[in-house]
Each structure stands twice: as C-alpha cells, then as structure tokens.
Amino acid sequence: MILFNLRCAEGHTFEAWFRNGDTYERQAKAKAVACPLCGSHSVEKALMAPRIAKKRGREEAPQQAVAPVAPGGGEMPAEDRAKAAELLRALREARRLVEANCDYVGDRFAEEARRIHYGEVEKHGIYGESTLEEARALADEGIEFGRIPWLPRADQ
Ligand SMILES: [Zn+2]
C-alpha cells in the first residue's frame, strides 16, 4: 500500500491509499478517485511536504549528534545554526576585545605572563600563544590567564 497526498482541481488536498503507484494512475485516469470535499474527479498528486519534513527531522536528529559542527551552515538544523552563529559572534567579539586592549606577544606569552606576574614589567594585558605545557606551568604558578578558541575574524 502506498499513501499519496492528492490535490483536486479546486485546490483541496487529501490523502488516499492505493495498492501501488500503478493503481493510483489507473484509478485517477478512470476518474475513480474523487475529492472527499467537493467530489471533483480531477485530482493529481500533491507535494507531501509536511509529512516528509517531519520524517526527515526525526531521521536527521541522530546524525547531528555525531556530525562535526560546521560553523555557518552545513546540515545543521536552523536552531543549531543560530546557536553556532551566536557562539561564533561571541568568540569573535572576545578576540576583538583582546586585540583592542592587549599587546600581542606571540609565542612569548608564557614568558611575558611570568614577567608581569612577578612585577618585572608594568602590568598590561597580553595575548599570544602558549603550549599546553606552558599553560599548565603558568596555572601551577598561580598566574591568571584565560584560554579562548581563536577564531578567524569575520573580515579575514
Ligand atoms: Zn476538492
């Protein structure tokens, strides 16, 4: 059995079961299919958009959990895309603030953070790169720093 969404000449849509696609074609051609609302025998297959959309939503959900997050689009549902876009905006804003207020020290971050911490240089905001080991060492020494995912700017 196969369920078709049908639409009559008046624009009414309704569902009807058929043994198979051929049965539908035969019955439609023989005017044996009538619109339940107006009785019109002029019917054609309608797009099954709502039904398909629901089904796809359920089937795609498990895939989303394992799929890598694709910032800015891909196959993510609109809701996830919106969240991802929001996160990207927040991270880009974080980067902008850091760049506007801190001095870039490149891979000398750990060294510079130490100099500031121990008062060897005037306190100022810095940013740069550090290895995981350096970051751990800094944390062990009680030096405050933050780590943020460093995203390309929107204009890059
Ligand atoms: Zn009708």
Integer angstrom CA distances of residue 141 from 108, 117, 145: 17, 9, 11
147 inside domain = no
Q: How far apart are CA 28 and CA 128, in angstroms?
A: 71
Q: According to the model, what pLDDT value does residue 154 have?
A: 63
Q: According to the model, what pLDDT value does residue 39 have?
A: 94
132 inside domain = yes
Spatial CA neighbour of 72 closest among 88, 90, 60, 57: 88
96 inside domain = yes
41 and 82 in a single domain? The answer is no
148 inside domain = no
89 and 136 in a single domain? The answer is yes
Measured in Å, residue 8 CA sits from the centre of ligand 1 at 5
SS3 content of the chain, % helix, strand, coil (to 5): 45, 15, 40
Measured in Å, residue 25 CA sits from the centre of ligand 1 at 18
The pLDDT tens digits for 102-125 are 888 988 989 999 999 999 988 888
Measured in Å, residue 68 CA sits from the centre of ligand 1 at 46
Measured in Å, residue 34 CA sits from the centre of ligand 1 at 8
Measured in Å, residue 54 CA sits from the centre of ligand 1 at 25
SS3 for 134? helix
The pLDDT tens digits for 33-84 are 999 999 999 999 986 554 444 444 444 444 334 444 445 545 677 888 888 8
134 and 82 in a single domain? The answer is yes
52 inside domain = no
53 inside domain = no
Count of domains for the chain: 2
Q: How far apart are CA 73 and CA 70, in angstroms?
A: 6
119 inside domain = yes
Contact in structure between 40 and 34 (CB atoms under 8 Å) = yes
154 inside domain = no
**What's the average model confidence in pLDDT over 123-147?**
87
What residue numbers bound the domain in which 7 lies?
Answer: 2-47
84 and 133 in a single domain? The answer is yes
Say if residue 141's pLDDT is above 60: yes
